[in-house]
Amino acid sequence: DAGITQSPRHKVTETGTPVTLRCHQTENHRYMYWYRQDPGHGLRLIHYSYGVKDTDKGEVSDGYSVSRSKTEDFLLTLESATSSQTSVYFCAISLSGRSFGTEAFFGQGTRLTVV
Amino acid sequence: AQKITQTQPGMFVQEKEAVTLDCTYDTSDPSYGLFWYKQPSSGEMIFLIYQGSYDQQNATEGRYSLNFQKARKSANLVISASQLGDSAMYFCAMREGLSYNTDKLIFGTGTRLQVFP
C-alpha cells in the first residue's frame, strides 16, 4: 500500500471555525491532490500541488486554501467552515504529470462534519 | 462543462454475468489518460485499469477490460464473470494535457454496481 496518511480521520466542528486537514506521504511523489466526495457528485478536485510551494485550484476551490512546505505534507484549510463543507475529504498522490498512465493513490479519507 | 459523464447512477448484475459501466469524456487535448477506480463500502479507492489516448489496443486487467472508442469519446468498463465482491461504486477519471503543471485528475459522479446471487 502507498504510504499516505490523512489526519484526522473524523472531525466534527462548528460553523465559522477554522479547520486544517493533513495529508502525509512517505512515497516522495511529486503530485498531491485534495478531493471532496459527496453523494451524486463523485469526487471533485479542490486543490492540487505539483511541487513544494506549487499549488493550483481545482473545480471547487472556493472556501479552501492549501499549503505545501515539504514534499511529504499537503495541508487543506477551511478558513471558516460552513455546513456545505460537510463531506468526506480524500488526499491522493501521483508520481508524475508527464506520464499519463501513472495512477493516483488515495488516502483513507477524512469525514468532516460542520454543525 | 462536465468533463467526465457517467450516466448510470446504479446497475444490477447477476453473479457470473458480464456488465458494462458507461463513461464518456470531453476533451480537446489529443493526449490524455483514462482511469477506472473502485470504491467498496469500506471507502478506499482502488485503481483498476488505465487507457492512454494513443494506445492502439483496449486495456485489460484480469476480469476488467476497457472498451475504448476514441471517436465517440467513450471509455466503458467491462467486468466479466461478476462476483459478489464486485459490488461497489465505480468511478471513471481522466487526466489530460501535456503541460508539466497540468496534472488534474478529474472524476465522474460514479456508478453503484450491485451484484446479486
Banded pLDDT at B1 (limits 50, 70, 90) = low
Q: What is the pLDDT of residue B2?
A: 62
Can you tell me the distance from the alpha carbon of B111 to that of A14, in angstroms, rounded to the nearest whole number?
32
Neighboring chain B residues of A92 at a CB cutoff of 8 Å: 45, 105
Q: What is the pLDDT of residue A1?
A: 58
| B7 has a pLDDT exceeding 70 | yes
Q: Which residue of A has its CA nearest to B105?
A: A45
| CB-nearest partner of B105 from A33, A40, A50 | A33
Can you tell me the distance from the alpha carbon of B51 to that of B41, in angstroms, rounded to the nearest whole number?
25
Probe site for chain B from A100, A105, A108, A112 (most B CB atoms < 10 A): A100
Count the Cβ atoms, other than its own, within 10 Å of residue A64. Answer: 20
Give the strand pairing for B74-79 and B105-107.
unpaired
Chain A contact for B99, CB < 8 A?
Answer: yes
Chain A contact for B91, CB < 8 A?
Answer: yes
For A76, A101, B36, the CA distances from B54, given in Å and listed in that order, are 35, 11, 17
* Residue A64, C-alpha cell as written in the block: 479552501
Chain A contact for B103, CB < 8 A?
Answer: yes
| A13 has a pLDDT exceeding 60 | yes
Q: Which residue of A has its CA nearest to B42?
A: A108
Can you tell me the distance from the alpha carbon of A74 to that of B101, in angstroms, rounded to the nearest whole number?
16
Q: What is the pLDDT of residue A94?
A: 86
- Count how many Cα atoms sit within 13 Å of the Cα of residue A13 in the half-sphere of its side chain: 24
Q: Cβ A44–B35 below 8 Å, yes or no?
A: no
pLDDT in tens, A46-78: 999 988 999 999 999 999 999 999 999 999 999
| B29 has a pLDDT exceeding 60 | yes
Banded pLDDT at B97 (limits 50, 70, 90) = low
Q: Which residues, 6+ apart, have CB-to-CB distance to B94 below 8 Å?
A: B3, B4, B25, B27, B32, B33, B34, B35, B105, B106
SS (H, E, C) B10-57: EEEEECCCCEEECCEECCCCCCEEEEEEEECCCCCCEEEEEEECCCCC
Phi and psi at A75, nearest 5°, equal -105, 135
Number of A–B residue contacts, CB under 8 Å: 67
Banded pLDDT at A80 (limits 50, 70, 90) = very high
| A97 has a pLDDT exceeding 80 | no
Q: What is the 3-state composition of chain A as percent helix, strand, coil, each rounded to the nearest 5?
A: 5, 55, 40
Specify the residue for cell string 478531493.
A35
